[in-house]
């Protein structure tokens, strides 16, 4: 019988257990997509911290495997491993109440220590579970230290030394930067490994993983090029360029069963590319729910996003009045920077019936918004990949995006002919966004053309299948060397 190929993902969020955005979606769908390529041969597992925010339905079905301790520098930390099997993928959860019973996944004063412990526990768990993967795939700075450990402290241990490591950058803006003074105390690294993580006089965990991993990937081909430049690399362009020989950009996909307007409890009027009549029913129902003026045939422009400047929220705010004054309706769902939340809250009453703002994280509401909207605004300043524009396409909502990163790779302009599936603009400028909105309004006025366009964009395939194959081929290539 052919030997099983063992793959272990390490990450700090995963849909549907707990998630703050795109990373959670990717970890919640890519492993299954890889597994589905060769069910009997691929043994893929995912290891996560057991955040107390895990949904109750999943918490109740966790199985406790063992309790143990592991060292993090001078700390002897107790932890337990729980597990759950879902759609053919085994999920392990590292439980420690002190580190992971918190109100949020990130932004705690001791994130460095919380995730350093997770990285150490991941290595420890391989031994305790007797599961040494062929490929270890870590995601973003929170898990970078586990790659560094494998290539430093554990490199001469025969149980770990043959493990191939993949490190994926989902967003280079977040690097895990800490004071050099806590190198030994918190990150359990000695002077001999200092140079791996040291960058610009600080500990930079992402830089460490970039330097030592066997394969470096990021989430779109364009972002892979962008992060070689100072404009996009948040200071790491030099390190990216040095390691570009092992860098690949692989476009993310979305889970087409998780996002399916034809088959979801929260979509009252299911629809598909053959029959979009129910999309209009969704729109009418949503207008009522959101208190939008039902008398006018106005297009709905929506935003479902973290409210940060990376996402271009400042551009949207700068043109909000003009967009609404064109006769459009705007719906915004998001959480994020206080200044954006407060600005949106303050402006909403001035546009009663035309603007609806929801300041919360709500997956079902998000799906209803994707389903009911005509256009989706995503004028990001930087966008490693972006999933929201792909979800919008899936729900027949025309994306309006800035040409950057994965947005450039996944949305071609209406004027491009057959491949066109949205409206795009190049400069990070409110005027260019507004110009795209006006072009969208023109299309909306021509009902037949607009309806045909919606049917066309709904047929575009951004499911995981092709990207999962690329990842798998990269794993095979690593294992062949
Ligand atoms: P990022 O990961 O940078 O936040 P992505 O576009 O890659 O951006 O992924 C964002 C994901 O999070 C999408 O699935 C989007 O629908 C979802 N999302 C963002 N904000 C909210 C919210 N407030 N409520 C529900 N889902 C949200």
- CB of 141 closer than 8 Å to CB of 23: no
Return the number of other C-beta atoms located less than 10 Å from residue 96's C-beta: 18
- Alpha carbon nearest to ligand 1 atom 9, residue: 22
Return d(Cα 208, Cα 216) in angstroms, integer: 12
H helix intervals, 54-110: 56-59, 97-100
Q: Which of 305, 311, 385 to mutate to test the pocket of ligand 1 (most atoms within 8 A of CB)?
A: 305
Tell me, what's the pLDDT at 481? Answer: 83
Burial call 139-176: b when 16+ CB within 10 Å, e when fewer: bbbbbbbbbbbbbbbbeeeeebeebbbbbbbbbbbebb
Burial call 33-56: b when 16+ CB within 10 Å, e when fewer: bbbbbeeeebbbbbbbbbbebbee
Q: CA dihedral defined by 342, 343, 345, 349, rounded to 10 degrees?
A: 150
Which atom of ligand 1 sits closest to the CA of residue 335? 23
Structure tokens given for 254: 């979305």
CA of 20 to the centre of ligand 1 (A): 7
Which atom of ligand 1 sits closest to the CA of residue 388? 6
CA of 395 to the centre of ligand 1 (A): 15
| Strand, helix or coil for residue 400 | strand
Tell me, what's the pLDDT at 2? Answer: 60
> Whole-prediction pTM value?
0.94
- CB of 304 closer than 8 Å to CB of 370: yes
Q: Which of 24, 304, 333 to mutate to test the pocket of ligand 1 (most atoms within 8 A of CB)?
A: 304
CA of 126 to the centre of ligand 1 (A): 32
Which atom of ligand 1 sits closest to the CA of residue 358? 23
Structure tokens given for 6: 């063992």
**What's the sign of the alpha-carbon dihedral 208, 211, 217, 221?**
positive
Angle of helix 430-445 versus helix 313-325 axis, rounded to 10: 40
CA of 3 to the centre of ligand 1 (A): 38
CA of 400 to the centre of ligand 1 (A): 16
Report the chain's C-alpha Rg in angstroms.
Answer: 23
CA of 416 to the centre of ligand 1 (A): 27
Q: Which of 12, 105, 306, 370 to mutate to test the pocket of ligand 1 (most atoms within 8 A of CB)?
A: 306
pLDDT tens by residue, 253-306: 999 999 999 999 999 999 999 999 999 999 999 999 999 999 889 999 999 999
Tell me, what's the pLDDT at 1? Answer: 47
Return d(Cα 446, Cα 448) in angstroms, integer: 6
- Alpha carbon nearest to ligand 1 atom 16, residue: 388
Return d(Cα 78, Cα 69) in angstroms, integer: 4
Nearest Cα neighbor of 119 from 73, 159, 62, 67 is 73
Instruction: Spell out which residues line ligand 1, taking CB within 6 angstroms.
Output: 21-23, 25, 304-306, 333-335, 361-363, 366, 385-388, 391
Q: How many residues does the chain have?
A: 481
Residue position matching structure tokens 């930087």: 382
CA of 360 to the centre of ligand 1 (A): 11
- Alpha carbon nearest to ligand 1 atom 2, residue: 22
- What stretches in the chain show pLDDT beneath 50? 1
Which atom of ligand 1 sits closest to the CA of residue 23? 2
Task: Judge if the upstream peptide bond of residue 16 is cis by omega within 30 degrees of 0.
Answer: yes
CA of 408 to the centre of ligand 1 (A): 18
Which atom of ligand 1 sits closest to the CA of residue 370? 16
Which atom of ligand 1 sits closest to the CA of residue 21? 12
Phi, psi angles (nearest 5°) of residue 40: -80, -20
Tell me, what's the pLDDT at 225? Answer: 98
CA of 144 to the centre of ligand 1 (A): 23
pLDDT tens by residue, 203-251: 999 999 999 999 999 999 999 999 999 999 999 999 999 999 999 999 9
CA of 308 to the centre of ligand 1 (A): 12
């Amino acid at each position: 019988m052919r030997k099983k190929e063992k793959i272990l993902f390490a990450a700090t969020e995963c849909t549907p257990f707990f998630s703050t955005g795109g990373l959670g979606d990717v970890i919640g769908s890519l492993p299954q997509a890889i597994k589905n390529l060769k069910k009997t041969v691929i043994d893929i597992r995912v290891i996560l911290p057991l955040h107390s925010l895990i949904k109750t339905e999943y918490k109740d079905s966790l199985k406790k495997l063992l309790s143990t301790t592991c060292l993090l520098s001078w700390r002897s930390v107790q932890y337990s491993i729980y597990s759950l099997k879902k759609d053919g993928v085994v999920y392990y959860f590292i439980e420690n109440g002190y580190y992971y019973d918190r109100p949020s996944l990130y932004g705690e004063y001791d994130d460095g220590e919380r995730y350093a412990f997770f990285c150490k526990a991941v290595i420890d768990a391989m031994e305790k579970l007797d599961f040494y993967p062929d490929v270890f795939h870590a995601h973003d700075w929170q898990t970078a230290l586990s790659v560094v450990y494998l290539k430093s402290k554990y490199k001469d241990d025969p149980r770990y030394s043959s493990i191939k490591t993949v490190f994926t950058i989902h967003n280079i803006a977040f690097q895990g930067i800490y004071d050099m003074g806590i190198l030994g105390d918190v990150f359990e690294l000695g002077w001999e490994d200092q140079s791996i993580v040291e960058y610009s006089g600080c500990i930079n965990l992402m830089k460490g993983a970039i330097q030592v991993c066997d394969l470096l990937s990021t989430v779109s081909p364009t972002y892979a090029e962008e992060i070689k430049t100072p404009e996009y690399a948040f200071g790491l362009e030099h390190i990216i360029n040095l390691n570009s020989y092992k860098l690949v950009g692989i476009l993310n996909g979305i889970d087409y069963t998780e996002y399916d307007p034809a088959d979801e409890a929260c979509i009252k009027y299911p629809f598909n590319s053959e029959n979009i009549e129910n999309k209009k029913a969704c729109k009418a129902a949503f207008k009522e729910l959101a208190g939008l003026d039902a008398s006018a045939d106005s297009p709905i422009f929506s935003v479902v996003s973290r409210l940060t400047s990376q996402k271009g929220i400042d551009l949207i705010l700068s043109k909000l009045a003009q967009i609404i004054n064109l006769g459009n309706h705007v719906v915004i769902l998001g959480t994020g920077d206080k200044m954006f939340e407060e600005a949106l809250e303050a402006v909403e009453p001035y546009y009663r019936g035309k603007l609806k703002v929801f300041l919360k994280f709500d997956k079902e509401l998000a799906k209803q918004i994707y389903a009911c909207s005509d256009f989706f605004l995503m004028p990001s300043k930087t966008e490693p990949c972006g999933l929201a524009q792909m979800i919008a396409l899936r729900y027949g909502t025309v994306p309006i995006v800035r040409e950057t990163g994965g947005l450039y790779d996944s949305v071609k302009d209406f004027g491009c002919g057959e491949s066109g599936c949205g409206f795009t603009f190049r400069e990070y400028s409110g005027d260019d966004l507004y110009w795209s909105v006006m072009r969208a309004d023109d299309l909306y006025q021509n009902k037949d053309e607009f309806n045909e366009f919606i049917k066309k964009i709904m047929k575009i395939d951004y499911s995981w299948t092709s990207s999962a194959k690329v990842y798998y081929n990269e794993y095979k290539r690593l294992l062949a060397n």
